[in-house]
Amino acid sequence: MEVPFLDLKKQYQGIKTEVEPQILDIMENCCYIGGRYVSEFESSIERYLGVRHASGCSNGTDALILGLKACGVGPGDEVITTPFTFFATAESIASVGAVPVFVDIRQDDYTIDPDKIEEAVTDKTKAVMPVHIFGAPCEMDRINEIAGKYNLKVIEDDAQAIGSEYKGRKAGTLGDVGCFSFYPTKNLGGAGDGGMVTTDSDDLAVILKAYKEHGSGQNGAKALELLGGSAGTLETGEAVTELYNPYKYYNYLIGYNSRLDALQAAVLSAKLKHLDEYNTNRARIAELYLEGLTDRLRRPVYSKDIKTCWHQFVVCSEYKEELCAYLTEHGVGNGTFYPVPLHHQKAFHAGNCKNPGAGLPIAEMTASQSVCLPIFPEMTDEQAGFVIDTVNRFYEGK
Ligand SMILES: Cc1ncc(COP(=O)(O)O)c(C=O)c1O
């Protein structure tokens, strides 16, 4: 038997009949960017998460950048985050001119350690960026308490956590801004890049939307006012129509071009209807792993307060390299997220990071031992059984 690391083809078969007429509709009507499909998808996400505003953008990295910008994070500011995550988390912080400050993670669930956050706060700290890594929400009550005490913004990196919950509330509603990725391999994955920023704040929503479209138009003017500037009054004398908005060519902020396109929105809307079912299937595979895998592997231990969407199932093994090679040799797809913790990435140095090369022992140990086993909604119990047997057989020889 062969078990792939994930199988996107099977998922496409499940939504094919639903999504193909919509793709055709978009192509025939040539409404490629924005429009009905995007606004309907944004509303569906608002309902699904229980959040006031959801705004589509080009990808998860941009979602983080937009979240940081909307929260006023910029040059001279420090943002506390985890080193055990995908590069884009801290890259977004450096991209807006701020400085990432890495603190260690917890061994049990691989998330940022709230005990370490408070000691990293300085008078330059502007925000915390918790990452719900592999789908498991961070300990948000403690993070929000520290943020409240020091007047910090909380920008959630929800790239891996769509559908996850903390104390019954969905990831993406737990801080000031939520930032999602719809990269194809995510639990809700598009047919290309896509992202979303979410917030309950009406003001932040205006600013987020302005930044993602060059700070232009009436929304850009409102955002400038909210940010303390003066937009003045503008009357172009031209009517706004469905095809032409004269205000679009008046810009009030230096922003970005970061919009979600209609094709992605159509695919994502179709998949969103199945997301809970996808995540339940992932949870079933995780349960099989938790029951069947040898105790000699360290597996994640999650608090009762959270429900993970099981974006990845990650174990730690002192024989990481040998185990991965053995799995590959025996037809079991596998991955190693993340082999280099961010404070050891060459891209971070004293010029753009507070503590490059710092000793963060739990993150370092986890990075050197983490092995991701296959987990995807279409996986069968039989395939999970094969993965378990293969891993356990490897350990019998140890
Ligand atoms: C934790 C985390 N943050 C940010 C991102 C960036 O998302 P994207 O690839 O859509 O830009 C990803 C996606 O890979 C991620 O896993």
**pLDDT tens-digit profile, the chain (398 residues):** 999 999 999 999 999 999 999 999 999 999 999 899 999 999 999 999 999 999 999 999 999 999 999 999 999 999 999 999 999 999 999 999 999 999 999 999 999 999 999 999 999 999 999 999 999 999 999 999 999 999 999 999 999 999 999 999 999 999 999 999 999 999 999 999 999 999 999 999 999 999 999 999 999 999 999 999 999 988 888 888 877 888 899 999 999 999 999 999 999 999 999 999 999 999 999 999 999 999 999 999 999 999 999 999 999 999 999 999 999 999 999 999 999 999 999 999 999 999 999 999 999 999 999 999 999 999 999 999 999 999 999 999 88
Q: How far is the CA of 102 from the centre of ligand 1 (A)?
A: 18
Phi-psi region of 209 (alpha: psi -120 to 50; beta: other; left: phi over 0): alpha
* Ligand 1 contact, 258 CB (< 6 A): no
* 140, amino acid identity: M
SS (H, E, C) the chain: CCECCCCHHHHHHHHHHHHHHHHHHHHHHCCCECCHHHHHHHHHHHHHHCCCEEEEECCHHHHHHHHHHHCCCCCCCEEEECCCCCCHHHHHHHHCCCEEEECCECCCCCCECHHHHHHHCCCCEEEEECECHHHCCCCHHHHHHHHHHHCCEEEEECCCCCCCEECCEECCCCCCEEEEECCCCCCCCCCCCCEEEEECCHHHHHHHHHHHECCEHHHHHHHHHHCCCCCCCCCCCCCCCCCCCHHHHCECCCCCECCCEHHHHHHHHHHHCCHHHHHHHHHHHHHHHHHHCCCCCECCCCCCCEECCCCCEEEECCCHHHHHHHHHHCCECCECCCCCCHHHCCCCCCCCCCCCCCCCHHHHHHHHHEEEECCCCCCCHHHHHHHHHHHHHHHHCC
Predicted TM-score (pTM) of this structure? 0.97
Q: Is residue 85 lining ligand 1, measured as CB closer than 6 Å?
A: yes
Token pair of 244 as six digits: 């032409």
- Could you tell me the distance, in angstroms and rounded to a whole number, from the CA of residue 104 to the centre of ligand 1? 20
Nearest CA to ligand 1 atom 12: 159
> How far does residue 176's CA lie from ligand 1's centre (Å)?
19
- The answer, yes or no, to whether any atom of ligand 1 lies below 6 A from the CB of 136, is no
Q: Is the minimum distance from the CB of 158 to ligand 1 under 6 angstroms?
A: no
Write the residue with the smallest CA distance to atom 8 of ligand 1: 60
Query: Cα(40) to centroid of ligand 1, in Å?
Result: 23
Ligand 1 in reach of 269 Cβ (< 6 A): no
What is the Cα–Cα distance from 139 to 130, expressed in whole angstroms? 9
Structural domains of the chain in order of their starting residue, each with its CATH number: 8-272 (3.40.640.10), 275-396 (3.90.1150.10)
Atom number in ligand 1 closest to CA 88: 4
CB of residue 189 inside a 6 A radius of ligand 1? no
Q: What ligand 1 atom has the least distance to the C-alpha of 131?
A: 1
Residue 134 CB–ligand 1 contact under 6 Å:
no
